Amino acid sequence: MKPLRIAVIGAGNLGKIHARLLTQNPAVQLVAIADPSPSAQAEIMSQVPVPVVNDFHAIMDQIDAAVVATPTRFHFDVASKLLAAGKHTLIEKPVTDSAQDALELSNLADASGAVVQVGHVEQFNPAFTKALESIGTPKFIQASRMSGYTFRSTDIGVVYDLMIHDIDLVNSILDGNVVDTRAVGFSVFGKNEDMAQARLQFSGGAVANLTASRCSFSPERSMQIFGTDGFSQIDFTNSSVTTIVIPSWIRNREMNFFNLTEEQEAFIRDSLFDSVLKRQKVEVPRGNAIQAEHNDWINAITTGTTPKIDARQGMQAVEIADGVLNQLNTHRWEQRNLAMTGPLAKLPETDRSDMLPNQLLPQMRRAA
């Protein structure tokens, strides 16, 4: 079979990774990379031996498929043109920056028959699958996704930037739809929220508490899942999982824990996670999640099946994220009529961006 002819559109942080991995994938031929930025072009040309063009329209008739890795605000414009031309599309997450646009892309994909995969790459983190294996039905989830400030993806807030990963993960495993959303957020530097905390209640009864920050001094990507039969803790960064399966004799209350001798209590206290609620490190297979995401998409294209994260799933994540944003943008921090609301975002009153950090530092120290 002829390899699939693919382009990467947008050669920034993510586009570079997609391009490098696609050149190593025998099922595809990376035909071209499109990016209007001269500096992005120069950098990608030094790394990947593939023609680079300014505008993806110029290579439309040379490709069967494309990866869209532009800033989120351009996803709809680029992807809708690709889909209208029947090109299979892998769109980085979040699929778009509005649920309405996501629905339109989903309809376009249905009409054209093109296969859309959305880049919710944590779905391909083997730790996530492993964590679910022996804990029964997930009922309560806590997730934290924190990073330092990178100056990336500032066209969107942290809900679309980071929390969307966990929104998609919990939405894919908890029963039913989101029926209640509570959220608060804070902005540190600009007009969008940089920290957010959300509580999602699902119609099946399960609850997810999600925390995201892109202004944190302790980077972390973790999730705790409480299921009907046990508990799993995931560290997405190291792709590691710790699980506790609750023994049936505890679940069924076969032993009375409140009628023990002092010696028995001491034994349980001292060896709780070794002998009673046995804590186990789960073996997680190694693998490159973006490569797995490519292979799933390519397989769906060649076999006519549905990819793991189709346009509708991407749209659902955006809809839930919009619910979170709606709550955090209207949260009142005071009772008064003219109360402070939302993430307390402010635009700068004076532009001090001409001040270099070393000029700013003494002034910041004086103010402290």
Ligand X SMILES: NC(=O)c1ccc[n+]([C@@H]2O[C@H](COP(=O)([O-])OP(=O)(O)OC[C@H]3O[C@@H](n4cnc5c(N)ncnc54)[C@H](O)[C@@H]3O)[C@@H](O)[C@H]2O)c1
Q: How far is the CB of 120 from ligand X (least distance, A)?
A: 7
Long-range contacts: 194-197, Cβ < 8 Å, 24+? 194/149, 194/157, 194/158, 194/343, 195/158, 196/157, 196/158, 196/159, 196/163, 196/324, 196/328, 196/343
We find the least distance from the C-beta atom of residue 255 to ligand X, in angstroms, to be 45
The nearer residue to ligand X, 15 or 230, going by C-beta atoms, is 15
**Is the CB of residue 300 less than 8 Å from the CB of residue 117?**
yes
Q: How far is the CB of 33 from ligand X (least distance, A)?
A: 9
Instruction: Tell me whether residue 37 or residue 363 sits nearer to ligand X (CB atom).
Output: 37
Question: Nearest approach, Cβ of 321 to ligand X (angstroms)?
Answer: 12
Residue nearest to ligand X (CB): 12
Nearest partner of 166 among 213, 203, 210, 121, judged by Cα: 210
Residue with Cβ nearer ligand X (19 or 121): 121
**Token output for 140:** 């309560």
Phi–psi pair at 189, nearest 5 degrees: -110, -30
CB closer to ligand X, 98 vs 242: 98
Q: Where on the chain is the footprint of ligand X (CB under 6 A)?
A: 9-15, 34-37, 40, 56, 69-72, 74, 78, 92-93, 119, 121, 152-153
Least distance (Å) from ligand X to the CB of residue 317?
Answer: 12
- In angstroms, the CA 166 to CA 85 distance is 32
Query: Among 104, 22, 102, 107, which residue's Cα sits nearest to residue 63?
Result: 22
Q: Which is nearer to ligand X, 230 or 314 (CB)?
A: 314
Provide the Cα torsion 92, 209, 190, 162; round to 10°: -20
